């Protein structure tokens, strides 16, 4: 496997809380990887550490042979390692077209001819160029967030809950987009709660729980892991219990 990203013994503590604890894994060129785990497991923190939005306390992050821990986000992005956020980072007061223009400034060079047109086409934005993001359907706004991230032509894109809040049709469109990007050679790591979506999309799944990597393997291995089931089932059962209590309290 041709390693793009290597995470070795990475930890991050907030106050007394170990948000990411001794996490190690490697992402190879051309992989499509899912990152799952209950709320608070440390998924977003891990993305922040990888892309320079936060600094690890310990551990090494190696991107194509270079140690990048502690680098500023723009320096990491320009090397081809880019993330999207749970809420798309778009400029609300300018049009979709202007958003795409502004995103070019994240590059240190001029984009190749035709890149914007390709992204507009791939991300299905042609019909929305003159609109402001606030007026867009949620699924389109999410695709705009992805197009903006792609303006820098990353080699690896980290997507933080790209399907959250989308309806079934929008989810299907998103899955098609991610598959198309992957087929085009992009390496992807996707945080996603919808098990059907993530198991259907990804060839390999990383499971975080309470900051620790508890499994790493193909969907069949993850589905058969009783520890993974316990982590999810535990949360689901607890939630159902709390909801039942809440509804009783209302009577």
Ligand X SMILES: Nc1ncnc2c1ncn2[C@@H]1O[C@H](COP(=O)(O)OP(=O)(O)O)[C@@H](O)[C@H]1O
Contacts of 231 (CB under 8 A, 6+ apart): 37, 38, 207, 209, 214
What the block records as the tokens of 239 is 């939630």
Q: In terms of CB distance, is 26 or 86 closer to ligand X?
A: 86
125 touches which of Mg ion, ligand X, none (CB within 5 to 8 A by kind)?
Answer: none
- For residue 101, give the H/E element and its range: helix 96-103
Nearer to ligand X, 103 or 191 (CB): 191
Shortest distance in whole angstroms from residue 47 CB to Mg ion:
8
Q: How many residues bind Mg ion (CB under 5 A)?
A: 2
Q: Which is nearer to Mg ion, 42 or 120 (CB)?
A: 42
Task: Report whether 208 contacts 214 (CB < 8 A).
Answer: yes
Chain centroid to CA 84: how far?
6
CB of 103 to Mg ion, least distance (A): 23
Sign of CA dihedral 94, 95, 99, 102: negative
154 binds, among ligand X, Mg ion, none (CB under 5 to 8 A by kind): none
Decide whether 43 or 83 has the Cβ nearer to Mg ion.
43
Q: Which helix (H) or strand (E) covers residue 143, if one does? A: helix 138-150
* Nearer to ligand X among residue 156 and residue 206 (C-beta): 206
Q: What is the dihedral of CA 71, 73, 75, 79, to 10 degrees?
A: 110
Q: List residues binding ligand X (CB under 6 A).
A: 14, 17, 19, 37, 39-45
> H-type helices in 35-72, by residue range?
43-50
**What are 237-241's contacts with CB under 8 Å, separation 24+?**
none
Instruction: Compute the least distance from the CB of residue 95 to ligand X, in Å.
Output: 31
State in angstroms the smallest separation of the CB of 102 from Mg ion: 26
> Which one among 44, 51, 99, 151 touches Mg ion, defined by CB under 5 A?
44
Out of ligand X, Mg ion, none, what residue 190 binds, judged by CB under 5 to 8 A for its kind, is: none
Task: Please spell the DSSP secondary structure of 198-212, one letter per residue.
Answer: HHHH-SEEEEEETTE
Q: Which is nearer to ligand X, 13 or 29 (CB)?
A: 13
Contact window for Mg ion (CB under 5 A) among 13-21, 38-46, 95-103, 243-251: 38-46
DSSP state at residue 127: G
For binding to Mg ion (CB under 5 A), which residues are involved? 43-44
């Amino acid at each position: 496997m041709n390693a793009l990203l290597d995470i070795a013994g990475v930890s991050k503590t907030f106050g007394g809380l170990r948000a990411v604890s001794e996490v190690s894994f490697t992402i190879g060129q051309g992989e499509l990887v899912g990152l799952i785990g209950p709320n608070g497991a440390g998924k977003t923190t891990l993305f922040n550490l990888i892309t320079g939005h936060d600094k690890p306390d310990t551990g090494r992050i190696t991107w194509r042979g270079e140690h990048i821990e502690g680098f500023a986000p723009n320096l990491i992005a320009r090397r081809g390692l880019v993330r999207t956020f749970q809420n798309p980072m778009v400029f609300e007061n300018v049009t979709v077209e202007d958003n795409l223009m502004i995103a070019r400034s994240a590059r240190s060079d001029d984009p190749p001819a035709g890149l914007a047109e390709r992204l507009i086409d791939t991300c299905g934005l042609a019909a929305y160029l003159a609109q402001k993001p606030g007026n867009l359907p949620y699924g389109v706004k999410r695709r705009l967030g992805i197009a903006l991230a792609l303006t820098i032509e990353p080699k690896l894109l980290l997507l933080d809950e790209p399907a959250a809040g989308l309806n079934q049709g929008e989810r299907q469109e998103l899955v098609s987009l991610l598959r198309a990007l992957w087929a085009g050679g992009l390496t992807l790591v996707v945080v996603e709660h919808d098990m059907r979506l993530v198991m259907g999309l990804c060839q390999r799944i990383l499971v975080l729980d309470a900051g620790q990597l508890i499994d790493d393997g193909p969907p069949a291995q993850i589905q058969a892991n009783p520890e993974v089931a316990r982590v999810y089932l535990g949360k689901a059962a607890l939630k159902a219990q709390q909801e039942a209590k809440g509804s009783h309290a209302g009577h």
